[in-house]
Homo-oligomer: A and B are copies of this chain.
Amino acid sequence: MTMEETGSRTREAAEAAVLDEKERDEAPSAKAAEAGSAPMTGASRRKLESRRKLMAAARKLFVERGYHETRPQDISKAAGVGHGTFYLHFEDKLDCFLAFTEEAADELHEFVEQHHAVAGSLEEGIHELLTAVFEYSDENPGVLGAALTDISVLSTGDTGRKMPVDRWAEVWAELLEKWKEEGEAASDLDARMAGYLIVGAIKQGGAYGYRRRLDRKRMIDGMTKLFVRALKK
């Protein structure tokens, strides 16, 4: 399993964009269409372009080096924009990290919804969810590990932003709630608490599995079995 790998596959696409300097000289209309909105002026076109490049670079570096080893300068440089541009798009470094984190959460969310009909039984649901998570992790090595970084290690004060852990815990909580209503899950379950337990288990287990280079299928099956037994009525 690859929850914390440092390589990259889908990364390439993003990087290619970063490296493609010519792109910003393209006809604006094409890009605007991509963004799905009204045709942009040259200025906002460029701004969006910059942000995309910065996000791609930030993800790459946060994943490869971690938060503290990545300087805003590195991100700007990797993105091919000036150092100042960074602060045109992010309040500060932490803001940028959180943006990365949220992007990853969004992606996983979308990924899960696209790849798996999360409507079936508890067994099926858990298995599909875990499969989706591990598949995403394979396609985006290291991203989950980085995105799940404990924010309290980075910032003392509360940022007021919802971290991936919380979003994912909630996803699980909602599912469990649904299963409880359907009589599939144990009725005395504290769904919220369980959501956090599951996310914690996946995070730690994923990290362990990656380090030990365990077989993905076996991991998914093992975890599914455990979770199902723990949760089922």
Contact = CB atoms under 8 A, between A and B. Distances in A.
A152 B208 CA distance: 13
A190 B222 contact: yes
A198 B201 CA distance: 6
Contacts of A225: 188
Interface string A170-201: 00000000000000001011101110111111
A85 interface: no
Contacts of A193: 205, 208-209, 214, 219, 222-223
A156 B196 contact: no
Interface in A204-233: 204-205, 207-209, 214, 218-219, 222-223, 225-227, 229-232
Nearest to A188: B225
Most buried by B among A68, A207, A208: A208
A139 B204 CA distance: 25
Quick one: copies of this chain in the complex? Answer: 4
Most buried by B among A152, A188, A189, A230: A230
A218 to B, nearest CB: 8
A8 interface: no
A153 interface: yes
Contact of A202 (B153, B200, B214, B230): B200
A18 interface: no
A143 interface: no
A150 interface: yes
Given A68-B153, A152-B66, A226 B196 contact: no
A67 B153 contact: yes
Contacts of A230: 226-227, 229-230
A154 to B, nearest CB: 8
A132 to B, nearest CB: 18
Interface in A131-170: 149-150, 152-154, 156, 165, 169
Given A192-B208, A196-B207, A197-B226, 4 more contacts: A193-B222, A200-B201, A201-B204, A229-B232
6 contacts: A188-B225, A196-B201, A197-B204, A227-B230, A229-B231, A230-B230
